[in-house]
Amino acid sequence: MRKVITYGTFDLLHYGHINLLKRARQQGDYLIVALSTNEFNEVKGKKCYFSYEERKKLVESIRYVDLVIPENDWEQKVEDVKEFKVDVFVMGNDWKGKFDFLKDHCEVVYLERTPEISTTKIKEELGFKE
């Protein structure tokens, strides 16, 4: 079985997220999503509309997703890849090159984002402040 992992906050879930998760799953047979916790989002300077538990329920309900785990810090990626025996690490191409250090442990793939939609754009249009 070919295992894939991706990371994200997935707040204000939208069709761009779904597109990314569908294409991530197409890289293998089993998709793990490491979902940023509320505490880690604070470290990243992000304010979420939905709590971790609410976002987890939403992401778990997506048919392309097999497992949701918490993302607690930047450094856990290597350990996650080893622990879950991951074959492919997937991120949006806005992160291109940032996770190449994982190539020692698995294949690294950067997928194009859906250009016309993002959580940041939604928040800006609705007047949310970070």
- Catalytic residues, by residue number, are 44, 46
Measuring CA to CA, which residue among 66, 92, 65, 90 is closest to residue 77? 90
User: How big is the chain by its Cα radius of gyration, in Å?
Assistant: 14
Token pair for 92: 């949006």
Tokens at residue 129, please? 């402040």
Q: Is the Cβ–Cβ distance between 69 and 58 less than 8 Å?
A: no
Alpha-carbon distance of 111 to 51, in angstroms, equals: 26
CA 59 to chain centroid: 10
Q: Which two tokens stand for residue 54?
A: 């609410």
Reading phi first (left if > 0) and then psi (alpha if -120 to 50, else beta), residue 12 is in: left
